[in-house]
Amino acid sequence: MRWSRERSRELFARSSVARLATVDGEGQPHLVPVVFAAYGDTIAIPVDHKPKTTYRLRRLSNIEGNPRVSLLVDEYDGDWDHLWWIRADGEALVQHSGPAWERARDRLVERYPRYRDEPPSEAIILVDVHRWSGWSAGEDPF
């Protein structure tokens, strides 16, 4: 079953984690799990305080070189009638401040209780989604 743009957007926003796909300058894909807040056709992805090897993350440099990204949320189940996925394709921009950054930070704080004590203060990736698509093997799982 294919889902409409509206239904795909709504169900994507309910998921708690997505996979962000970027591509480097040599065409090598890079895929990482991310938390996010989705509102309208915008997806906000924080660069937060969790331990990292570096804050110069590959996803950030990939976006600077090629802003086209895809995000995927999905569900696997041993009962294949419950399989589904939703993909958001768009263009990303890395923000460090400003009204769009503040709006995104507020949405992330609202969504994830852990951010209430220590809100994101670094970069936030803002994705302008151009295409929403979704599929399920059976009936609407939600």
pLDDT at residue 21 is higher than 60: yes
Q: Is residue 141 part of a domain?
A: no
Average pLDDT over residues 123-141: 88
Confirm if 23 and 30 have CB atoms less than 8 A apart: yes
pLDDT at residue 29 is higher than 90: yes
Confirm if 68 and 46 have CB atoms less than 8 A apart: no
Q: Is residue 38 part of a domain?
A: yes
pTM of the model: 0.90
Give the residue from 47, 40, 33, 16 showing the smallest Cα distance to 119: 47
Residue 40 CB burial class (10 angstroms; 0-12, 13-18, ≥19)? exposed
Q: How confident is the model at residue 91 (pLDDT cuts 50, 70, 90)?
A: very high
CATH number at residue 61: 2.30.110.10
Q: Which DSSP string corresponds to 20-53?
A: EEEE-TTS-EEEEEE--EEETTEEEEE--SS--S
Determine the Cα–Cα distance for residues 15 and 30; give it in Å rounded to an integer.
21
Q: Is residue 111 part of a domain?
A: yes
Residue-number span of the structural domain to which 96 is assigned:
2-136
The count of domains in the chain is 1
- 90-109 burial string, b = 16+ CB within 10 Å, else e? bebebbeeeeebebbbebbb
Q: What is the pLDDT of residues 47-89, one digit of tens each?
A: 876 545 555 789 999 999 999 999 999 988 777 777 889 999 9
Q: Is residue 24 part of a domain?
A: yes
